[in-house]
Structures are given as C-alpha cells and as structure tokens.
Amino acid sequence: MHWRTKAKAHSQWKTRAILGERLLRGRRPARPWQRVKATAVLYPRQLMDDDNAVARLKWCLDLLVERGIIVNDKRPHLTLTGIPDQRLGSKPTRIELTLEVAK
C-alpha cells in the first residue's frame, strides 16, 4: 500500500475511534496507566497468520499512548497476554482490546 493511502486510512481510523468514544467506552484514567496487560480478540473477514494478528494491534496500542491512556506500549509498561484470538463470521470487522491494570 502506498504510504499516503496508508496514512489517510490511519487518520480516518483514528478519527472514528476518537469520535465514536470507542476507547474505554468513554472512560479515561486521570493519569496514564503505568503498567497494563492487554488481551485482544480479532473479528476479521478471514483468518490471518499469528504475526499479522499481533501486528494488527499496532494502531490501537499507539492510539492509547497518544491519547494518554497508557504511558507506553513497550515493556514493561505493556504486556500482551498472548497472540490475539481470531473469530470469524461476525460483522463488522473489529478488534476488542481488554486492558488490565497491573499492580
């Protein structure tokens, strides 16, 4: 994909995510969370390789950092609990991301 096309798609996705208040269902922490565990379920049109399933989380995790919900998406601040589950047959395609604040 051409970089400009990808950048436009990324920008449109971020706008929909922010305006739709899909982040934390409208709840935001007073300060960014220092350490979280993330679990994801993908609802794709077709199954993908595990490495692609993990890569699909990049925009979501980057947006959580950008919006001040988590401190950073690198270890030790963020730990993925495993490769995301994939469930076919559901529309619309989406990612359900669950964050657990580590103590």
Q: What is the pLDDT of residue 22?
A: 53
Q: What is the mean pLDDT of residues 74-85?
A: 96
Condensed to tens digits (0 to 9), the pLDDT of residues 4-55 reads: 999 988 888 888 777 665 555 656 778 999 999 999 999 999 999 999 999 9
Q: What is the pLDDT of residue 12?
A: 84
Q: What is the pLDDT of residue 15?
A: 81
Pairing of strands 94-101, 36-43: antiparallel
- CA-CA distances (angstroms) from residue 85 to 50, 81, 82, 95? 9, 11, 9, 10
- Amino acid found at 10: H
